[in-house]
Amino acid sequence: MIAIDTNILVYAHRRDAEFHDAAKARVSAQLLSSSFTGLPWPCLHEFLSTVTRPNRFPSESTPIEQAFEQLDAWLEIPNLRILGESPNHLDTLRHLAVSGKIRGPMIHDARIASICLTNRVDALWTADRDFSRFKSLHTTNPL
């Protein structure tokens, strides 16, 4: 299963994003493929926060209603799985944080990595190089 990080979702959604065309094409192809795609809950929350943030983009931010409509459209895809914490989440998070010397805001990325690992994600699509700190998580930049 491929999981998709926030930045790729934002690029695919925002027409004024630098990598919009490539991200939209890759995300659309993945979501419409026969393989499963995972979207971690923290990435969906962060997507909403990012695309609706005032002054974040050259043009007006995404209205909150439209941002939720985008989530609804993704959630209708049959091969999509929403990924959340499992019973082993805290142990995995602890291992990632301690072994990677993670603290502060990086805990957010460790949470996503833990969710991906405990849900047996094959690769996380991301443009965020900070995920390279988690050696047990395979990441790919699809752009």
Mean pLDDT, the chain, whole residue set: 94
Name residue, tokens 């065309």. Answer: 21
Can you give the pLDDT at residue 94?
95
Can you give the pLDDT at residue 8?
97
**SS3 of the chain:** CEEECHHHHHHHHCCCCCCHHHHHHHHHHHHHCCCCEEEEHHHHHHHHHHHCCCCCCCCCCCCHHHHHHHHHHHHCCCCEEEECCCCCHHHHHHHHHHHCCCCCCHHHHHHHHHHHHHCCCCEEECCCHHHHHCCCCCEECCC
Can you give the pLDDT at residue 11?
96
Token pair listed for 40: 């971690």
Can you give the pLDDT at residue 59?
78
Percentage of residues of the chain with pLDDT beyond 90: 86
Can you give the pLDDT at residue 142?
95
Does the pLDDT at position 67 exceed 80?
yes
Can you give the pLDDT at residue 77?
94
pLDDT band for position 84 (50/70/90)?
very high
pLDDT in tens, 26-51: 999 999 999 999 999 999 999 999 99
* Interacting residues of 37 by C-beta distance below 8 A, sequence separation 6+: 1, 2, 3, 4, 30, 31, 77, 79, 80, 81
Mean pLDDT, rounded, for 73-102: 94
Q: Is the pTM of this model over 0.85?
A: yes
Give CA 87 to chain center in angstroms.
Answer: 21
Kindly list the domain boundaries of the chain, sorted by start residue.
2-140
Cα–Cα distance measured from residue 142 to residue 109, given in angstroms and rounded to the nearest whole number: 18
Which of these CATH numbers, 3.30.700.30, 3.40.50.11060, 3.40.50.1010, 3.40.50.300, describes 2-140? Answer: 3.40.50.1010
